[in-house]
Amino acid sequence: MISKFFTRNISVFKLPYEPYAFNDTERAVEIPWALSCLRENEVVLDVGYAYAEPRYINELCNLPLKELHGVDYVLNDKINKRMLKARTDIRKIDCYSPNFFDSILCISTIEHVGFKNDIYFEEERFTKHPDDDLIVLRELTKVLKRGGKLVITVPYGQNVDYDWFMQYDEDRLKRLRKHSHCKVIQLDYFIFKRHGWHYSSPDELKHIEYKGNGAPAAAGLACLLLSKS
């Protein structure tokens, strides 16, 4: 359960053992990692909720938050009614006031923006825009309060364009951090090997590709906690 990691003071989730989560996807790590960054009575936005796994949404909706909002390109009314949902293109967020949220979660989402998403929804006259993650970052920081937290997770390893998403490497992640104009509070790297997840480093992940090492999905993961300064 995520709730046992949810405390008043920031104490980001740590792997209890290695290898962690036998043959599971990166969700096993990024979900508790991301939710451990939240605090009671916060106003929280989840970006890309519509196709999120139930194990993530259910835990998120059960946390003692003041308000929980969800934004996506499509609307999913089947998600828990507690979440206040909005449909918009996150490259232009005009449904929230500036400086509105205490925390924003962008979990395995930003790497899809500007890439082909027809596995999720139809897009008319699709054109790839690999740099749209920077536009998203600008929009998210706009609606985040000063001192608020921005939690981002991305597949990490060798920089590869997989058409429906981009895998981040160190240069691309540094570029994201630079354009955020936020302070880095925590940055953790993880790798899938020997049927589970381990702590890692950028050097170890340098040549890792999606589904490498026998992983069911991403074989490398970067989890980033930023604070708006």
Which domains, from first to last, does the chain contain?
2-228 (3.40.50.150)
The pLDDT score that the predictor gives to residue 125 is 65
Q: What is the b/e burial string over 204-224, where b = at least 16 CB atoms within 10 angstroms of the residue's CB?
A: ebeebbbebeebeebbbbbbb
Q: Which of 224, 218, 159 is nearest to 27 (CA)?
A: 218
Q: Is the dihedral of CA 222, 37, 13, 25 positive or negative?
A: negative
The pLDDT score that the predictor gives to residue 182 is 95
* Cα–Cα distance for residue pair 15/199, rounded to 1 Å: 8
**CA of residue 93 relative to chain centroid, distance:** 17
Per DSSP, 62 falls in state: T
The pLDDT score that the predictor gives to residue 122 is 66
Would you tell me how many other CB atoms lie within 10 Å of the CB of residue 29? 25
The pLDDT score that the predictor gives to residue 206 is 97
Distances (CA, A) of 22 to 184, 193, 194, 198: 30, 10, 9, 11
What are the residues facing 144 on neighbouring strands? Answer: 101
111 residue type, one letter: E
* Cα–Cα distance for residue pair 151/160, rounded to 1 Å: 23
Instruction: Cite the beta strand spans of the chain per DSSP E.
Output: 43-47, 67-72, 84-87, 101-107, 144-155, 182-193, 196-199, 220-228
> Per-10-residue mean pLDDT for the chain, 229 residues long?
50 97 98 97 96 95 97 88 93 95 98 80 72 95 97 98 95 94 96 97 98 98 96
The pLDDT score that the predictor gives to residue 57 is 96
**CA of residue 87 relative to chain centroid, distance:** 18
